[in-house]
Amino acid sequence: MALDSYVSLGRSGLKVSPFCLGAMNFGEDGGFGCGVEESEKILQGYLDRGGNFVDTANFYTNGHSEAILGDFLAARPGLRDRLVLATKFFGNLHLGDPNGGGAGRKAIIGQLEDSLRRLRTDHVDLYWLHNHDWSTPVEETLRTLDDLVTAGKIRYVGFSDTPAWFTAKAHTTALLRGWTPVIALQMEYSLLERTIEGELIPLAEDAGMGVLPWSPLKSGFLSGKYTRDRRTPADTRRSAVLGGPTDDQFEVIDALAAVAEEIGATSAAVALAWVRARPGVSSTLIGPRTLDHLEANLAGLDLRLTPEQTAVLDEVSAPALNFPYALNHQVGAMLKYAGATVDGRTSQVYPPLLADAARY
């Protein structure tokens, strides 16, 4: 697969590259990331490979990320309209201003206008709610976003890092009111973070939302640079702040390294290939900090894991999911089908049914 083998983002009409270029590291504000020159090299490298999906947020590097993207696109007339440009709202850049962030009408409009100014464009293709706003009525948020779609300032709406119950409520409300629905979810997902499989991925699949995983390498833990004898690499300040993997995480890292060695690939490429092939995933977010990182990540497009290799990684990384996931999967088919074979799968029989033929 290549970056120009485009995929539909969920059940929408939007077509995007299988890897989305995340611009969180564009700009050195905050003490990590990359400068303007390296950011532009990464952008150009991604575009040269056929990529068309770029994602940022209003508060990444204090707005510098958006500004770098805006300057790059402004210097290349015609390029902007060929890209799917996404950014997010929620983060407050104005100290002490209670209306500077969040998902209220005033906040959304103010944040979008600032983002459009920095991005040097008149619209955003995909606008993400970046967090759950517990104090704003969801109807206010959705109506504002729908108004912005009508005004032509945004094209599509996505949610990032929101609870499943809230996301389902918002999407259903939008459909019932005839407002713009949620077309995609951006959530953390990797071999070391699979808990969205409990409710968020089933919600996305049922509602036709595309899933865009972020941190598919778990902040570098799955990149191959961590080993048991070197738990905290010194090459980035961010890694030092996060600390190294736990013993349980190293079980997954070791299994990943073994699969990578078996097929002659890097751990990073295998981890990305695993995420990309997961049910519900439309495109996967990569956040390179150097051009070399970009090239290493793109190697994940060329890999196809065998069922056996996938099973090894699935088993070692299996998550403990919230109630009632385990209960439903343990007894659901048994209670529903009573031993019948359905869709090629056999079911067990509830023991009391076998113990006594009497029915009342």
Catalytic residues: 60
216 phi/psi in degrees, rounded to 5:
-65, -15
DSSP string of 184-224? EEEEE-BTTB-GGGTTHHHHHHHHT-EEEEE-TTTTTTTSS
* Preceding omega of 324 cis (within 30 degrees of 0): yes
Q: In what order do the strands lie in the sheet containing 124-129?
A: 210-214, 182-188, 154-160, 124-129, 84-89, 53-55, 19-22, 284-286
Distance CA 189, CA 46 (A): 22
- Max Cα separation, the chain? 80
State the Cα torsion 307-20-148-89 to the nearest 10°.
100
Are 319 and 195 in contact by the 8 Å Cβ rule? The answer is yes
Of the candidates 157, 289, 139, the one whose C-alpha atom is nearest the C-alpha of residue 217 is 289
Beta bridge partners of 55: 22, 86
Any alpha helices (H) in the chain, and if so which ranges?
36-48, 64-74, 105-119, 138-150, 164-177, 200-207, 237-242, 247-263, 267-276, 291-298, 307-316, 325-337, 351-355
32 phi/psi in degrees, rounded to 5:
-145, 175
Distance CA 60, CA 57 (A): 5
DSSP state of 322: P
Any alpha helices (H) in 49-196, and if so which ranges?
64-74, 105-119, 138-150, 164-177
